[in-house]
Structure 1
Amino acid sequence: MMLLWLCVIWVFASVAVAMLPMRHQYIPGVILLLAAPVLIIMIGQQVGWIAALLGLAAFVSMFRNPLLFILAKLRGQNPELPE
Protein backbone atom coordinates (compact mmCIF):
# COMPACT_ATOMS: atom_id res chain seq x y z
CA MET A 1 0.00 0.00 0.00
CA MET A 2 2.91 2.33 0.74
CA LEU A 3 4.24 1.87 -2.81
CA LEU A 4 0.90 3.01 -4.21
CA TRP A 5 0.99 6.20 -2.13
CA LEU A 6 4.61 6.89 -3.10
CA CYS A 7 3.70 6.55 -6.78
CA VAL A 8 0.66 8.81 -6.40
CA ILE A 9 2.78 11.44 -4.64
CA TRP A 10 5.40 11.17 -7.39
CA VAL A 11 2.75 11.73 -10.08
CA PHE A 12 1.28 14.79 -8.34
CA ALA A 13 4.78 16.18 -7.74
CA SER A 14 5.57 15.73 -11.44
CA VAL A 15 2.42 17.58 -12.43
CA ALA A 16 3.23 20.39 -10.00
CA VAL A 17 6.78 20.70 -11.34
CA ALA A 18 5.48 20.76 -14.91
CA MET A 19 3.37 23.81 -14.07
CA LEU A 20 6.39 25.76 -12.81
CA PRO A 21 8.24 28.18 -15.07
CA MET A 22 11.08 26.45 -16.91
CA ARG A 23 13.85 28.10 -14.86
CA HIS A 24 12.33 26.68 -11.66
CA GLN A 25 11.87 23.14 -12.99
CA TYR A 26 15.48 21.97 -13.00
CA ILE A 27 16.17 20.99 -9.38
CA PRO A 28 12.80 19.35 -8.60
CA GLY A 29 12.83 17.76 -12.06
CA VAL A 30 16.19 16.14 -11.44
CA ILE A 31 14.99 14.83 -8.08
CA LEU A 32 11.92 13.31 -9.75
CA LEU A 33 14.07 11.95 -12.57
CA LEU A 34 16.30 10.16 -10.05
CA ALA A 35 13.39 8.93 -7.91
CA ALA A 36 11.50 7.34 -10.81
CA PRO A 37 13.84 4.36 -11.44
CA VAL A 38 13.73 3.53 -7.73
CA LEU A 39 9.92 3.47 -7.82
CA ILE A 40 9.90 1.44 -11.04
CA ILE A 41 12.22 -1.16 -9.51
CA MET A 42 9.98 -1.30 -6.43
CA ILE A 43 6.95 -1.79 -8.68
CA GLY A 44 8.76 -4.61 -10.47
CA GLN A 45 9.58 -6.34 -7.19
CA GLN A 46 6.15 -6.01 -5.61
CA VAL A 47 3.75 -6.15 -8.55
CA GLY A 48 5.59 -7.78 -11.45
CA TRP A 49 7.71 -6.98 -14.45
CA ILE A 50 4.77 -6.16 -16.74
CA ALA A 51 3.66 -3.38 -14.39
CA ALA A 52 7.27 -2.20 -14.19
CA LEU A 53 7.49 -2.09 -18.00
CA LEU A 54 4.29 -0.04 -18.12
CA GLY A 55 5.73 2.31 -15.49
CA LEU A 56 8.96 2.58 -17.47
CA ALA A 57 7.00 3.44 -20.64
CA ALA A 58 5.08 6.15 -18.77
CA PHE A 59 8.32 7.50 -17.29
CA VAL A 60 10.07 7.68 -20.67
CA SER A 61 7.00 9.33 -22.17
CA MET A 62 6.85 12.00 -19.44
CA PHE A 63 10.58 12.70 -19.35
CA ARG A 64 11.43 12.27 -23.05
CA ASN A 65 12.91 15.76 -23.48
CA PRO A 66 15.23 15.63 -20.44
CA LEU A 67 16.26 12.08 -21.38
CA LEU A 68 17.00 13.17 -24.96
CA PHE A 69 19.03 16.09 -23.59
CA ILE A 70 21.07 13.76 -21.36
CA LEU A 71 21.57 11.36 -24.28
CA ALA A 72 22.79 14.20 -26.50
CA LYS A 73 25.21 15.36 -23.80
CA LEU A 74 26.56 11.82 -23.43
CA ARG A 75 27.14 11.69 -27.20
CA GLY A 76 29.21 14.87 -27.00
CA GLN A 77 26.67 17.14 -28.67
CA ASN A 78 25.82 20.58 -27.31
CA PRO A 79 22.00 20.86 -27.19
CA GLU A 80 20.38 24.19 -26.40
CA LEU A 81 18.49 24.77 -23.18
CA PRO A 82 15.12 26.52 -23.38
CA GLU A 83 14.92 29.89 -21.65
Structure 2
Amino acid sequence: MSLSLTLACFWAVLANVLAMTPSRDNHWRNAYMLIAVGIPLLGFITAQHGPWVGLLVLAAGCSILRWPVIYLGRWLRSKAGNFKGPAA
Protein backbone atom coordinates (compact mmCIF):
# COMPACT_ATOMS: atom_id res chain seq x y z
CA MET A 1 0.00 0.00 0.00
CA SER A 2 1.30 3.45 -0.82
CA LEU A 3 2.29 6.04 1.77
CA SER A 4 -0.73 8.24 1.05
CA LEU A 5 -3.25 5.44 1.56
CA THR A 6 -1.43 4.32 4.70
CA LEU A 7 -1.70 7.86 6.07
CA ALA A 8 -5.40 7.94 5.14
CA CYS A 9 -5.99 4.71 7.07
CA PHE A 10 -4.11 6.15 10.04
CA TRP A 11 -6.27 9.30 9.77
CA ALA A 12 -9.45 7.17 9.85
CA VAL A 13 -8.24 5.20 12.88
CA LEU A 14 -7.29 8.44 14.64
CA ALA A 15 -10.71 9.92 13.88
CA ASN A 16 -12.43 6.88 15.38
CA VAL A 17 -10.24 6.95 18.49
CA LEU A 18 -10.93 10.67 18.95
CA ALA A 19 -14.66 10.00 18.60
CA MET A 20 -14.51 7.54 21.51
CA THR A 21 -12.89 10.02 23.89
CA PRO A 22 -14.98 12.38 26.02
CA SER A 23 -15.19 15.99 24.89
CA ARG A 24 -16.66 19.16 26.36
CA ASP A 25 -17.20 20.88 23.00
CA ASN A 26 -18.92 17.94 21.23
CA HIS A 27 -15.68 17.08 19.38
CA TRP A 28 -15.60 20.28 17.29
CA ARG A 29 -11.94 20.96 18.17
CA ASN A 30 -11.09 17.43 17.04
CA ALA A 31 -13.06 17.93 13.83
CA TYR A 32 -11.16 21.13 13.00
CA MET A 33 -7.85 19.32 13.55
CA LEU A 34 -8.93 16.37 11.40
CA ILE A 35 -10.06 18.72 8.61
CA ALA A 36 -6.76 20.63 8.74
CA VAL A 37 -4.80 17.39 8.42
CA GLY A 38 -7.23 15.73 6.00
CA ILE A 39 -7.34 18.36 3.25
CA PRO A 40 -3.61 18.19 2.38
CA LEU A 41 -3.74 14.41 2.77
CA LEU A 42 -6.62 14.28 0.29
CA GLY A 43 -4.56 16.29 -2.19
CA PHE A 44 -1.63 13.91 -1.70
CA ILE A 45 -3.88 10.89 -2.32
CA THR A 46 -5.40 12.48 -5.41
CA ALA A 47 -1.95 13.34 -6.78
CA GLN A 48 -0.68 9.77 -6.29
CA HIS A 49 -3.75 7.74 -7.23
CA GLY A 50 -5.95 9.96 -9.36
CA PRO A 51 -9.30 11.66 -8.96
CA TRP A 52 -11.47 8.54 -8.52
CA VAL A 53 -9.55 7.30 -5.50
CA GLY A 54 -9.50 10.88 -4.22
CA LEU A 55 -13.29 11.04 -4.49
CA LEU A 56 -13.64 7.73 -2.64
CA VAL A 57 -11.41 8.97 0.18
CA LEU A 58 -13.33 12.28 0.22
CA ALA A 59 -16.60 10.35 0.61
CA ALA A 60 -15.09 8.32 3.44
CA GLY A 61 -13.92 11.50 5.17
CA CYS A 62 -17.33 13.11 4.76
CA SER A 63 -18.98 10.07 6.33
CA ILE A 64 -16.65 10.34 9.32
CA LEU A 65 -17.01 14.13 9.65
CA ARG A 66 -20.70 14.22 8.77
CA TRP A 67 -21.81 16.99 11.17
CA PRO A 68 -19.33 19.59 9.93
CA VAL A 69 -20.43 18.70 6.37
CA ILE A 70 -24.12 19.02 7.32
CA TYR A 71 -23.54 22.41 8.95
CA LEU A 72 -21.52 23.58 5.93
CA GLY A 73 -24.38 22.57 3.64
CA ARG A 74 -26.90 24.41 5.79
CA TRP A 75 -24.72 27.52 5.84
CA LEU A 76 -24.24 27.44 2.06
CA ARG A 77 -27.97 26.94 1.53
CA SER A 78 -28.77 29.94 3.74
CA LYS A 79 -26.28 32.08 1.81
CA ALA A 80 -27.67 30.92 -1.53
CA GLY A 81 -31.20 31.79 -0.39
CA ASN A 82 -30.16 35.42 0.18
CA PHE A 83 -28.55 35.69 -3.26
CA LYS A 84 -30.53 38.11 -5.47
CA GLY A 85 -28.56 37.52 -8.65
CA PRO A 86 -27.50 40.14 -11.19
CA ALA A 87 -29.71 43.19 -11.49
CA ALA A 88 -31.87 43.03 -14.58
CA 70–59 in structure 1, closer or farther in 2 if over 3 Å, else same: same
The runs of at least 4 consecutive aligned structure 1 residues that moved more than 3 Å come to 70-76
CA offset digits 1:13-44 (Å, max 9, x no partner)? 10111101242623222110221121111111
Q: Indicate the residue corresponding to 1:45 in structure 2.
A: 47
Q: Which runs of 5+ in 1 are unaligned?
A: 77-83
RMSD, aligned α-carbons: 2.0
Q: Which runs of 5+ in 2 are unaligned?
A: 80-88
1:48 is displaced (CA, Å) by: 0.9
Q: Indicate the residue corresponding to 1:16 in structure 2.
A: 17
Q: Indicate the residue corresponding to 1:65 in structure 2.
A: 67
Q: Indicate the residue corresponding to 1:56 in structure 2.
A: 58
Give identity over the alignment, percent. Answer: 28
Q: Mean alpha-carbon deviation: is it higher for 60-69 or for 48-57?
A: 60-69
Query: Aligned residue pairs: how many?
Result: 76
Q: Mean alpha-carbon deviation: is it higher for 37-46 or for 16-25?
A: 16-25
TM-score by length of 1: 0.72
Task: Please tell me whether Structure 1 or Structure 2 has the larger radius of gyration of its CA atoms.
Answer: 2
